[in-house]
Amino acid sequence: MHYFLAKNTDWIEALKLEIIQTLGCSKDQVKTFPQLPLLAIDDSFDITNKYMGFSTTALLNSKEIPEDSISNQAKAISSAIVEKLGAGTKINLDIFSMTNKYGIIETGRAEIIKDKVIKNLKANKIFPLRKKKDFGLPFVQAMVHAGRDVALSILDASEVQTNRTLLSPFVGGFNNVEDDKKAPSRAFKKIIEAQTIMGLTSSLEETLVDLGASPGGWSYVGRKQGAKVIALDRSPLREDLMADSKVEFMKADAFKFVTDNKIDWVVSDIICLPPRIIELIQTWVVAKKCRRFIFTIKFQGKEDYPILSEFKELAATLDFNVIIKQLNANKNEVTIMGWEK
């Protein structure tokens, strides 16, 4: 099975339509799970290099490990990992439960299984990374669901590359960026989450162009990371950002702005119809005027969702690694982000 996780159950309908549209399957071929933000399809459907905007993460080519004792399930998971990946490797390893009451949790049964799996793997010199994900390494996810069944997805390093857009650095795709009371708006969480997914942050020597920047959440993050910011909006940013010598504010139409030189980061949180974001991709990404980009695609209603397929078609033609994903911090939005290959 291929499992796709959504941000929460509010997005299941949108994700289901997207799966049907992207993979050409019928409604009946998409398996649903009552009250869980989870859908599944048979793994005979080819998901290689496919984008799934409303999916926060996916467990691809999963095998089911039926309800059993914790030790037996841990043994079955460990053996499957050794069999597929061989001994002597580092891996990304997430083991979590999907619950309707608490969402994604890593405690209880999932935690005990994980401890046992780590012990079993040690004997084969397979070592799970402790902190950050490394998308250059195999990716193992085990999800306890539907009672005590476990869905186990093991991707080797090359499968991780071809399915990078469907995977997440966050366990079960769930993330809650820590609050920052000094940020001028809650929107600052979007750029942090997107950068974490990309595995990149802006830095001292870099310039970040922030389109539709006011009141300045994204510019604030860029400045905290040390970058120089060029911010465009019709309204000013918060006073401290306006006074910052490393912030150049331009009261202008963000769609009319281009630069002669290549910019490190171009980001946009402009409130506009989705086709205007396609224009931004043409201006900055197709024309290779930026090295990295993050653009939110804002929907007015459900009728806008099919336009995602235009973004996907365009993404496939770019010389960029592209991820299209609904962020935990997104509302009725999906974010498209990318970095030069």
Just list the catalytic residues: 298
Comparing CA positions, the residue from 5, 72, 335 lying closest to residue 195 is 335
Segment lying near ligand SAM (by CB under 6 A), choices 46-54, 71-79, 119-127, 206-214: 206-214
At residue 83, the 3 state secondary structure works out as: helix
Question: 312: which strand partners?
Answer: none
- Measure the CA–CA gap between 144 and 125, rounded to whole angstroms: 25
Residue from 138, 217, 222, 274 binding ligand SAM (CB under 6 A) = 217
| Helix/strand/coil for 271 | coil
The single residue listed with the structure tokens 């990992």 is 81
Segment interacting with ligand SAM (CB under 6 A) among 41-49, 80-88, 197-205, 227-235: 227-235
The binder of ligand SAM chosen from 42, 179, 248, 253 (CB under 6 A): 253
Which C-beta is closer to ligand SAM: that of 212 or that of 338?
212
**Given 23, 215, 339, 340, the residue binding ligand SAM (CB under 6 A):** 215
Question: Which residues, at least 6 apart from 162, have a Cβ–Cβ distance to it below 8 Å?
Answer: 48, 49
**Which residue lies nearer to ligand SAM by CB, 8 or 235?**
235
Residue 55 CA to residue 33 CA, distance in Å, equals: 15
Task: Characterize the bridge pairing of strands 89-99 and 207-211.
Answer: unpaired
CB of 191 within 8 A of CB of 221?
yes
- Indicate the residue among 253 and 310 with the shorter CB distance to ligand SAM: 253
> Is there binding between residue 204 and ligand SAM (CB under 6 A)?
no
Amino acid letter for position 221: V
Residue 212 interacts with ligand SAM (CB under 6 A)? yes
Q: Which of 117, 232, 241, 290 binds ligand SAM (CB under 6 A)?
A: 232
Tell me: does residue 270 bind ligand SAM (CB under 6 A): yes
Where along the sequence are the contacts to ligand SAM (CB under 6 A)?
184-185, 187-188, 212-218, 232-235, 253-255, 269-272
